[in-house]
Every structure is written in structure tokens, then in C-alpha cells.
Structure 1
Amino acid sequence: MRLAGIEDTDIMLDEYGQPVVEAGIPQIVSGKECLLQDIRCEMLTEEGELIYEDEEGKEAYGYGLLEFLNGEDDILGEIQARIIEKLSKREDIDESSIKAEVVVENKGRIRAIVSFNTSDDKENSIEVNVDETGVYIE
């Protein structure tokens, strides 16, 4: 599956994953915002969820964060490793800049603050939350 990057354009999605339409015209997103939108979408997706997916492991689309909810042992380290692994496959991200701070909050909610630099040397940050109801991007 081809990942969106800084050179791409896509349909703009709102916080619910629905197309943004103004005056009957779907809006578009391009450049770094297209890359960031694709990263957020991939974080919300489970591996194997897309019927047309043909990759496995690191290259598969989707972070699969829900599988960690009932995990044991070093769950925070495993989530951190998964996030870094998935982001490192993207050509527009400086792999050495990827950081993920993962904590368990009250009632078992897992929160990850993810930061990374894109090829324009700008730092970007995404907050991901996982609980028994799903995965959410803040």
C-alpha cells in the first residue's frame, strides 16, 4: 500500500474521518498536512483492517494499538516500539527524531505523545489515546 507523503494531495477529512465539504465542493489537503492526516488515519487503523492491504508487519498499514489494551509485561515499551517502527517507514520523517512518551492513565487509558521532524526540519506532535472504546487522536 502506498503511504501519503509531503508531495501528495488528498481529500481533507474532519475529526470523524468524514470528507470536509464547503459549498458542495470537497476540500483538499496537500503538503505536510496531507502527510500528517495520513499518519493520524494510520494510527486509528488496525493492521489488516483494510481489505485491499497487501503488506505485513512493519509495512502493513495500521498501528494496531487496540491489541495492547489487555497486554501484560512491558506494554508501554511495546507501544512505544510499535509507534517508532511505523513512523520510521515514512520517507518524509527523520527517523532519528521520532520520540514517543507512553503512559497509562486512570481507568486503563493509554496516552502516547508522539513527536517527530518532517523533511522540512519542523517538529510535529500528535497525541494518541487508547481505551476500551477505541483509539482517539487529540
Structure 2
Amino acid sequence: MIKGIHHINLLVRDLDDAVARYRAQLGLPEPEYERLPGRGVETARFRIGESYLVLVMPTAEGEPARVLAEQGEGLFLLSLTTDDIEESMKQVVSGGGALTSEAPRAGVSDWRIIDLEPEKIAGGRIQLANSRA
């Protein structure tokens, strides 16, 4: 089911400033940028080994903007890699969990993602992801 960490999302107020700090302090290369108007965010993602570190700046109202306003910058969610997102969704539900939607949605780079209901998994913001082949 779970193969590893797909990506970690960190909320930031200023994407350009955050990218500059991450590059300077961690020696990361230039990231790939992407806007997700449907989610109301702009992103910058760094490839780190087999995973990604994604900086997320809210640009409109929505969950990322609400969490940033309430909790400030920092960890937003952990995304776990799965080869078969539909089977993993079934596992979550059969194991007593719940999903926040009926079907996966398109994320950054057309990744297929679906969020787990935080209250059912000890409060963590966790999602399942797989990349389209």
C-alpha cells in the first residue's frame, strides 16, 4: 500500500522569500513552480531524493489560507506514495478511516491525491498520492 513519502507541503506567506531562504540555507536547486487556481495556491517544489518538498503560498480563500492564518507558516501536510490509489482508499476506509472526498483530484504536476479525514487518523493532515505515468 504505502511505498514512502511522496511530498511534504509547507505553508509560506511569501513564496519568493521562502524559496530564497530554502535555497540559501539548504543548498537546494531552483524549484519548479506551479499555480493551482482551483486550490487557491501557488507552489514551488524541490526534488529531494525520491520525495518532494513543496512550498505552498495561498492566493485565495480555502483550507491552505485558513490554516496559514490560524497556525502560521510551517508544516501543512504529509503526502504518502501509493502505487494504487483506489486500493489504498479502500484500505483506509476498511481500516476505520475516512476520506474527505469520493475521488482523487489533480494536484501539482497532475499528481493524483486524496486527503484522509484528520479526525480519523489522530489529527494528522495526511493524503495519499501517486504520479500519473
TM-score for the superposition, normalised by structure 2: 0.28
Normalising by structure 1, what TM-score?
A: 0.28
Higher relative contact order (CA 8 A, sep 6+): 2
